[in-house]
Structure 1
């Protein structure tokens, strides 16, 4: 079983405005509402690939009910959320000549709710995959991902982490199976500016030495890197019109897990990760299975070392 954790889910309210202007009344041309949050995005892409997963996290109020109902009924995703007293947040994505995002803060998570969440993890078994995605809100211990990895990695569970800052750094020390920073996040970790591929690989290898087993670095139009102790692969993205910058990284995580569990091959998993990430970037919503496989044959992966 694949479990995804989204500590701070959201409704992603996506609105299209032909020419968004500040300090003016803007008319919406089209709008959509999606269950959002990085772990939920991973579950949604896995569902599109016909792979079952269970979504965990915290929801509250009418917005939380929308998320649960959307995943259960529309997306066919099993959920096991903890209900909290405050409403789940709404994130507004404005698509115009440029993209603008306005993200809510989300509910405060009390200790009792956190303990209920921990109890949900007790069912994990050795052949399961656990995906910990998204930032950790202030009401939750910043090292929660590291604590979870420390406990469940010992049981043989493969743990994937996609977060930033101190949460990521503390997680790396616990040796997760996979992390997926982008180039900008890699620069933030080492407080440096990366100007070429050689530098990106150098700092990627430093993360491997710090503890993580496998690493994907997404670099937008420049492609992506896969690094572990045995190899470095460079993957080039196919050409296409970028319609969506939200969820491409989460789609890469889902694609990698899906293919790795099927083939146990890092090369194939990385290649399919690029296909799913690109398919989302070229779509208005998260990628479909057909779109991912359509792009797969166009992707070139080179072994650098």
Structure 2
């Protein structure tokens, strides 16, 4: 069983219009709403790949049935911790030329009791789990080192911990000895203190993260794919799909593919191939953070993987 801690659950709203004009009143062509948050995207993608998965996250009275029903339909065991406040909403504004602008709600401020409920629920789930994925922003109130502390605790028991975080949480995670860390290009550039523009740049940082104790560092490069280091070789996996329908959530789906690949004892190059296929499959459809297994299988054979030297 893979356990995903995606505490900061959201409602994703995809807003479609011809062109975004800041400062003007505009009529929206279409709005679609889906249960979301990075952890939820990861969990439902793992389930789509037919691996057992459970998700721990916030819920509220308004959306509890919607989220529980959607997760059940998609094969995810959802452990929702209900709060009084309403879940955050995240908006993706998609223009007709494919450009997307994201507006991310920080969400409610949790008191100590709600934080402990989430951690206790996660602790119970870990009793029957052989992999932990920590994904997305932490709800306000949590310490920035929460993911790092969880990674150290679970790592001491021999269970691999995979982290996808940003900002201060990512900086703490870099020193946590987590089994896998997945910064994107912007996050990786911030960690490195220099711009990362090529696969070779990403491979250099991945090697540096490995030297800091991260067993399987992976740097994602958007449409350029992803680079991973396995302790011996660095690998670059990529796939050109042409026009993207909605790339929001592709990094989450890529992480899900990596989690499934490593749980199935794949090598880094094969796990990257699966991960990049998942990210591409998400970008080809409207819904944020969701893939179909059949399409992933088709795309997987088209992913190009090469060893990165230097």
**What's the TM-score, normalizing by structure 1?**
0.93
Give me the whole-angstrom Cα distance separating, in 1, the residues matched to 2:129 and 2:43. Answer: 18
Q: Which residue of 2 aligns with 1:34?
A: 34
Query: Please, which runs of 5 or more residues in structure 2 have no aligned partner?
Result: none
The runs of at least 4 consecutive aligned structure 1 residues that moved more than 4 Å come to: none
Query: Please, which runs of 5 or more residues in structure 1 have no aligned partner?
Result: none
Equivalent positions of 1:1-150 (< 5 A) are 1-72=1-72, 74-96=73-95, 97=97, 98-123=99-124, 124-125=126-127, 128-150=130-152
* Residues paired across the two proteins, number: 304
Equivalent positions of 1:173-184 (< 5 A) are 173-184=175-186
Give me the whole-angstrom Cα distance separating, in 1, the residues matched to 2:197 and 2:92. Answer: 30
Equivalent residues of 1:125, 1:157 under 8 A apart: no
| Pairing 1:291–2:295 present | yes
Aligned partner of residue 20 in structure 2, secondary structure: coil
Give me the whole-angstrom Cα distance separating, in 2, the residues matched to 1:5 and 1:14. Answer: 24
Q: Does the C-alpha gap of structure 1 residues 114 and 55 become closer, same or farther in structure 2, counting only changes over 3 Å? A: same
> Which deviates more from structure 2 when the two are superposed, residues 193-202 or residues 264-273?
193-202
Say what the alpha-carbon RMSD is for the aligned residues: 1.9
Give me the whole-angstrom Cα distance separating, in 2, the residues matched to 1:65 and 1:103. Answer: 23
1:24, distance to aligned residue in structure 2 (A): 4.0
Q: Does the C-alpha gap of structure 1 residues 240 and 144 become closer, same or farther in structure 2, counting only changes over 3 Å? A: same
Equivalent positions of 1:189-200 (< 5 A) are 189-200=191-202
Q: Which residue of 2 aligns with 1:171?
A: 173
1:114, distance to aligned residue in structure 2 (A): 1.6
1:228, distance to aligned residue in structure 2 (A): 2.7
